[in-house]
Homo-oligomer: A and B are copies of this chain.
Amino acid sequence: MSNTVRASHRLLTRSPVALPKSSGLDRQLQYAPGCLRRASTTTQNGRKKERVVILGSGWAGYGFARSLDPKKYERIMISPRSYFVFTPLLAGTAVGTLEFRAVTEPVRRLGLDHFHQGWADGIDFARKVIRVEANTSDDIASRTRLAIKHRPGTADKGALFEVEYDKLVIAVGSYSQTFGIEGVREHANFLRDIGDARKIRMKVLQNFEKAALPITSDEDRKKLLHFAIVGGGPTGIEYAAELHDLIRDDLKYTYPDLMKFVSITVYDVAPKVLPMFDKRLADYAMDRFNREGIKVKTQHHLMRVRPDEKCEGCFKLKIKECGEEEIGAGIVVWSTGLMQNPLVQKLESTVFKMPGSDTEMQLQKDAKTGGLVTDANLRVHMVPHTASSDSVPTQGQKPTVLPDVYGVGDCTVIAEMSLPATAQVASQQAVHLAKRLNKGDIDQKPFKFRNLGTMTYLGGWTAIHQSSADELRGWMAWVLWRTAYLTRSMSIRNKITVPFYWAMSWLFGRDISRF
């Protein structure tokens, strides 16, 4: 089914008019009868430009939107948050090395035709319409948690409205997976968004202030200043390293007498941390952590987190390997595991019929990750509906392409390709899709992943870097870490501000105000 047919089909129902690119107000406002007059300025397929609606403002959605040619397409983005977060530097903001604003890019600066602050609540693939739930929440706390609590389809629903598309790009990303462990959702801190980073930063400084009070016992000081990080991937390791830098470079001088109570522990269920690195590099990282006094406990399973009723602001961690005795901690940072976005789960369980067909269809679900399956051209797959409880197609049932619907980033899996759920993959997919849509050859050119290597900061001006070609460690890797992130840091504004903050933190120390 061609785009022309789809667009003129829609023309019969509602006829939006082409607005100038910078028009900030919603197109829907123009759906009044009088507007039909202006439809004469549109081309034969209903409007001058095809409308591409992008769901999400992360590495995939934001990266796609900024690469798509605004002369060729009308760009509309739907996302619960109005900014993109440069996630590799998030751990740095959580300890005050960087200002929060330096790692965000407001999506409205992309000059989109429109941005709707909200969640996609459902998609009618036959009508090519997205139902959007507005996000007008005044709660600016951790959106990770907010999203878990108030996700579309649960209570406290925002106002609903519809947005039409010609082409749709699903780039909604993933949520944090808590594996149902008691207390994690309520008491642990995540590290996925600016709100999370701010919360962690406040809690760390708050705990130091509490420990400094003359009325606090030494026992409680040890609990308050035990920083537990669950998950030994790059995020957890980098946060431990940044936290150690903050304590060693700054807090040591502010609270010299508290230093003897401070401890940092990284817990992981696997036998080794940083699984994506070669043994030599991972060993180097562990050596550094040992020397700095950061404990790494592999093969440790967190079973429960609960508040310590005897020590305000502290938690008790039940660890399988530690028996009945619970470990006291002042903060629990959770940086392990991803789960599918509720929208993806909803879409996968929805059965629909395409216009002109009586076959019941549903989206193809990846058996392992639960993500949406796409082909190598990033086009979303659909399969005939089966009565079985999960929608994995039976063998021999051939998936077909759902017209005009694309998927990029963490919420998707390319059939027969095994790629990690990383920013690098999402970013490359986004740019590929935008370029191919700009050229009009998306159906011909498949996506190919180019592995640029992995980097992790280890604290104290050292890092590790690994790619297929080489490996680096120590301060040379650190220089690469800083410059690599800098060149990928997106706007010119942040290309100036990020090194500025680094220099200011180096010259004057990190800011330790709590507000």
Interface residues of A (CB under 8 A from B): 22-29, 81-83, 99-101, 104-106, 108-109, 116-117, 134, 136, 138, 140, 159-161, 193-195, 198, 202-203, 206, 209-210, 212-215, 253-258, 312-313, 491-493, 496-497, 500, 504, 507-509, 511-515
Contacts and interface: CB of A to CB of B under 8 A. Distances in A.
A421 to B, nearest CB: 24
B504 A493 contact: yes
A194 to B, nearest CB: 5
A136 B213 contact: yes
Given A29-B214, A209-B82, A500-B500, A256 B136 contact: no
A161 B215 contact: yes
A23 B83 contact: no
With a 10 A CB-CB cut-off, give which of A108, A195, A258 has the most chain B CB atoms. Answer: A108
Nearest to A116: B213
A493 B27 CA distance: 46
A21 to B, nearest CB: 11
A509 B108 CA distance: 12
Contact of A202 (B140, B254, B515): B140
A255 B254 CA distance: 45
A113 B515 CA distance: 22
A512 B107 CA distance: 9
B515 A81 contact: yes
Given A493-B504, A504-B497, A212 B515 contact: no
B138 A83 contact: no
Given A493-B508, A496-B504, A100 B25 contact: no
B254 A513 contact: no
A212 B24 contact: yes
A433 B202 CA distance: 34
Contact of A106 (B106, B117, B512): B512
A321 to B, nearest CB: 31
10 contacts: A22-B256, A24-B254, A28-B214, A29-B214, A29-B257, A100-B515, A106-B513, A108-B254, A136-B206, A492-B508
Contacts of A257: 23-25, 29
A95 to B, nearest CB: 14
A65 to B, nearest CB: 15
B255 A214 contact: no
9 closest residue pairs by CB, A with B? A25-B257, A28-B214, A26-B214, A83-B513, A24-B255, A493-B508, A106-B513, A194-B515, A108-B254
A129 to B, nearest CB: 13
Contacts of A214: 26-29, 116, 161
Contacts of A206: 136, 138
Interface centre among A22, A82, A258 (most CB of B within 10 A): A82
Contacts of A509: 109
A221 to B, nearest CB: 10
Contacts of A508: 491-493
A209 B117 contact: yes
Contacts of A493: 504, 507-508
A511 B109 CA distance: 9
Given A101-B513, A504-B497, A508-B493, A136 B313 contact: yes
A143 to B, nearest CB: 8
A94 to B, nearest CB: 14
B136 A210 contact: yes
A500 B492 CA distance: 14
Nearest to A111: B253
A349 to B, nearest CB: 27
B213 A134 contact: yes
Given A99-B101, A493-B504, A108 B512 contact: yes
Given A24-B256, A83-B515, A101-B513, 13 more contacts: A24-B255, A24-B257, A25-B258, A29-B257, A82-B514, A104-B515, A106-B511, A106-B513, A116-B214, A138-B206, A159-B213, A161-B214, A493-B504
B215 A159 contact: yes
A503 B511 CA distance: 21
B195 A515 contact: yes
